Amino acid sequence: MLTVGMIGYGSIGRDVADYIASGLAGNVELKAILVRNKGNIVSDLPSDWFEDDPDRFFNLGTDIVIEAAGHEAVRLYAERSLRSGSHFLTVSVGAFADQELYERVMQTAAETGRQLIVPSAAVGGLDRIAAGAVGPIEQVTLTSRKPPRAWYGTIVEQQVNLEQVTEPVCVFEGPAKESARLFPESVNVSAALSLAGIGFERTTVKVFVDPTITRNTHEISASGKFGEIHLQIRNTPSANPKTGYIVAMSIVKVLKNLSTPLMIGL
């Protein structure tokens, strides 16, 4: 049985925990969920699943730690997870636009014999991009479009009147390194794509506020020795409009790959 610890209990964490509890994640046991204050948690899950002491959490010796709490959680806990003997699965991949952090985490993974795991999450085609990166890949472009309600609480509010916008507005065009810094909660997909392919500096990203759509939409274009790929993904937003249900589903797919006899799409 695969033992799992999880960091964060927001919309993604809740969905992952529910999938595990219902048996949809394979032969998996959720040992604990690390939160800031377990006394504030309202949940139908057993209360002893929640932990607010990092020392106790990392002493559980789980096989894998899932991060679903944001970039700061990656900075705080990626290396600690690996050193505790757990693989570290992260959805907040944009944190690794910080090259120093990425190199440090990768060095720790190498020293401990553990892995940093990046699920497909909100984007598709990472398996093909990663295979194509064997080489060479000539170009990778990501165009992300989200409806106005997905941009509240971000710097986009300073650029666009989200209540009155009536047509698509491009709020960013440039390298993935910069997009991951500017939109940490909304463009983690660009970071995942960069790690799979040709890096943060060479991956081009375009970001739109688009009032004509209701689903978070990502379009990927890449070409190289492998051929070409043109892919469009339209994700249904979850309770948090900045993310989609597919993110938790993608984490569950990784857990199934690790805990059942059949592995698909790795």
Please report the domains of the chain, with CATH numbers, ordered by start residue.
2-121+246-259 (3.40.50.720), 126-241 (3.30.360.10)
**Quick check: 221 and 141 in contact, CB under 8 A?**
yes
- The pLDDT, as a whole number, for residue 186 is 65
pTM value is 0.89
Q: Alpha-carbon distance 25 to 162, whole Å? A: 38
Output phi, psi for 230, to 5 deg. Answer: -135, 115
- The pLDDT, as a whole number, for residue 25 is 93
- The pLDDT, as a whole number, for residue 154 is 87
116 strand-pairing partners = 88
- The pLDDT, as a whole number, for residue 118 is 92
Give which of 119, 147, 131, 128 is closest to 221, Cα–Cα: 128
Output phi, psi for 91, to 5 deg. Answer: -100, -15
- The pLDDT, as a whole number, for residue 123 is 79
- The pLDDT, as a whole number, for residue 203 is 94
**Are β-strands 204-209 and 137-146 bridged in parallel, bridged antiparallel, or unpaired?**
parallel
Ranges of the chain whose pLDDT falls below 70: 185-186, 242, 266
**Are β-strands 28-34 and 87-90 bridged in parallel, bridged antiparallel, or unpaired?**
unpaired
| Single-letter code of the amino acid located at 56 | R
Q: Alpha-carbon distance 103 to 126, whole Å? A: 21
**Tokens coding 132:** 């194509």
Give which of 33, 56, 256, 241 is closest to 150, Cα–Cα: 241
**Active site residue ranges:** 218
Q: Alpha-carbon distance 148 to 214, whole Å? A: 9
Give me the sheet containing 2-7, strands edge to edge: 50-51, 28-34, 2-7, 64-67, 87-90, 116-117
- The pLDDT, as a whole number, for residue 244 is 74
